[in-house]
Chain A
Amino acid sequence: MAVLKTSGLRKTFGDFKALDGVDIEVEAGEVFGFIGPNGSGKSTTLRVLLGILQATEGKAEIFGLDAWEDAVEIHKRVAYVPGEVNLWPNLTGGEVIDLFIKLRGGKPDGKREELIRRFDLDPRKKCRAYSKGNRQKVALIAALCMDADLYILDEPTSGLDPLMERVFQDYVMEVKAQGKSVLLSSHILSEVEKICDKVAIIRQGKIIETGTLKELRHLTGTIVQVETKLPIAGLREMKGVSGVTAEDGVVSFQADTEELDAVMRHISGFGITRMDSSPPTLEELFIRHYEKADQPGGVD
């Protein structure tokens, strides 16, 4: 059974459609990556899921309960880190962590001190003295030291340095190993690639692609780099070939999976001297999706 499920989720602010049909589903033990640029609706979706905003239309459920009606019941088993962490300037980081733990009604499972040490946070400092990264650490520590079933994290590493990012990823893996679920919004695609099982791409309030990374890659095809004895003719016109560039005799392009066979046959006629192929990175996937959507007759 899905831990978290939205269907046909819509949210409007006045005339502005912030969410225009969001369907996502997170299973138990799954790390779900939610990617999209700024203003595409990631945070709005997470806020609806937390019952901070009420959906205009559609359903948002966590643990089979309604995100708006049963918010308090749900929150007992959810840990959340908002995208923009604003804290109380006159409280210390340690005080905020303790307050958050108590407000969730749970007991900390003894990881508080360990997390503070590993994230290298000084809990005696007032929040006004913290940098963005340190405020994020406070929220992350408070979230991770709770024994929750679902972790909703809104761009949790945007202010962290690479070392702290690693610490964060370790903890996500630990949580996942315990069979818990994570919904992680991000625009750091390498991170999503590293730790997420499933990915959804959102654009202007709509989910435009969702699936495992493998599925997404299958959909988009392979990146090919090739050197040939003779210049390759007619490649650009072939079906399923896109993004052709040539530099220093090396031709690179992207080939759709269904057409790969035909494309390779065509190229081999020009005498291959060297060839490389790789699955597209998430970044390439992402950019491809966005470029496709921007063309007339694209996703819109």
Chain B
Amino acid sequence: MPAIDLANPTLFLRLVNRVLPWLIALTVVLFAIGLFRAVNAPDDYQQGATVKIMYLHVPAAWLGMMGWGLMSVAALGTLVWRHPLSDVAGKAAAPLGAAFTFICLVTGSLWGRPTWGTYWVWDARLTSMLVLLLLYLGVMALYWTAEDPGRGSRAAAILALVGAVNLPIIKFSVDWWNTLHQPASIMRMGGSAIDPSILWPLLIMAGAFTLLFFTLHLAAMRNEILRRRVRTMQLMQAQEAHA
């Protein structure tokens, strides 16, 4: 099947129904391995057992940013090619990205208290991450409250593209400004600064969370396609009732 055929909602639904059970199984297996490795990983020599919060916080931060990246690409599809599946992908990603950004902020706060002595500080990394959450809430409001879904989708797509400016700000905030947050220690020039005994559980947990994101995203896209079909049928019913 040519890849372009997947842009057809009916074929896409068929593919999702086939792929979803495998994705769910793979996600569960990877979480089981990741959690086992995380529980049995050694404590950090400075932070002690609080390093276990990292196995949640870091993947959630990555996915919060990846969700917005995904929405930005989908926004291009909505605005340039006006493809309905792009719009469906963007709308389905928004609550997922918001949820992972929220997890990142809460776990970061809970990690910050024993490590830094404070739950929150208005430094560049934390503030730009909070801005990301507010942007997500803005996009969701545009999608869900617009009277005309088409106009709401276009407005949300524009906000998704404009908000993408925040992604490099989040990533490089620890290099550009003095922050309480530590600098990059995994993806950096010269390799990771983390010991493999802690790095591997983190990477497995990141893989598990990423699979969870895509599993939920495909399922949410399927729901959105069905919701649009319901809406079309209800409009047909209303038109016939008035005819």
Instruction: Please indicate whether A and B come from the same complex rather than being unrelated chains.
Output: no
